[in-house]
Chain A
Amino acid sequence: MMAKLRSEPGFADADAFYAKLVEAHRDLDDAASAKLNAKLVLLLANHIGDPETIDEALAAAARPV
Chain B
Amino acid sequence: MGFVYPQYEFRQSPDSAAAKPVRHPVVVIGAGPVGLAAAIDLAQRGQKVVLLDDDTSVSHGSRGLCYAKRTLEIFDRLGCAAPIVEKGVTWQVGKVFHGPRQIYAFDLLPEGGHRFPAFVNLQQYWLEKFLVDRALALANLDLRFASKVAALEPHADHVALAIETPAGAYRIEADWVVACDGARSPTRKMLGLDFKGRVFEDRFLIADVRMQAEFPTERWFWFDPPFHAGGSTLLHKQPDDLWRIDFQLGANADPTAEKDPARVIPRVAAMLGPQVPFELEWVSVYTFQCRRLERLRHGRVLFAGDAAHQVSPFGARGANSGVQDADNLVWKLCAVLEARAPETLLDSYDAERGAAADENIGHSTRATDFITPKNAAAKLFRDAVLELAPHHAFARGLVNSGRLSQATHYADSTLSTPDTDVFAGGPAPGAPALDAPLANGWLLDRLKSGFTLLAFGAAPHALPDLPIAVATIAEADDPDGFAHRRYDAAPGTVYLVRPDQYVCCRLRRFDADAIRAAFSRACGKEM
Identify the A interface with B (CB < 8 A).
6-11, 14-15, 17-19, 21-22, 25-26, 28, 30, 33, 37, 60-61, 63, 65
Contact = CB atoms under 8 A, between A and B. Distances in A.
Contact of A8 (B380, B381, B387, B394): B394
Which applies to chain B's interface (DSSP): helix, strand, loop or mixed?
A: helix
B403 interface: yes
The 4 A-B pairs of least Cβ separation, nearest first, read A25-B377, A33-B377, A9-B397, A7-B392
B375 A63 contact: no
Nearest to A26: B375
A19 B392 CA distance: 19
A60 B392 contact: yes
B462 interface: no
B398 interface: yes
Contact of B391 (A7, A14, A15, A26): A7
Nearest to B376: A30
Given A15-B400, A18-B400, A21-B381, 6 more contacts: A8-B394, A11-B397, A14-B398, A33-B376, A60-B388, A61-B388
Contacts, number: 56
Interface residues of B, number: 23
Given A15-B400, A21-B381, A60-B388, A10 B366 contact: no
Contact of B403 (A6, A15, A33): A15
Given A25-B377, A28-B377, A19 B391 contact: no
B451 interface: no
Contacts of B374: 22, 26
Contact of A14 (B369, B373, B392, B397): B397
A43 to B, nearest CB: 17
Contacts of A30: 376-377
Contacts of B17: none
Nearest to B98: A65
8 contacts: A6-B394, A15-B363, A17-B398, A18-B366, A18-B385, A25-B375, A26-B375, A65-B387
B393 A22 contact: no
B393 A60 contact: no
A19 B381 CA distance: 11
Contacts of A25: 375, 377-378, 381
A19 B361 CA distance: 14
A9 B392 CA distance: 8
Contacts of A19: 366, 369
A25 B373 CA distance: 12
Interface in B160-219: none
B349 interface: no
A64 B47 CA distance: 64
A6 B370 CA distance: 23
B508 to A, nearest CB: 28
Contacts of B373: 22
B400 A7 contact: no
A18 B381 CA distance: 9
A26 B379 CA distance: 12
A65 B385 CA distance: 12
A11 to B, nearest CB: 7
A65 B381 CA distance: 15
Given A21-B381, A25-B378, A15 B366 contact: yes
A7 B375 contact: no
Contacts of B393: 7-9
B398 A18 contact: yes
Contact of B394 (A10, A15, A22, A37): A10
A7 B394 contact: yes
Contacts of B400: 15, 18
Nearest to B377: A25
B395 to A, nearest CB: 8
Contacts of A33: 376-377, 380
A17 B381 CA distance: 12
Contacts of A63: 391
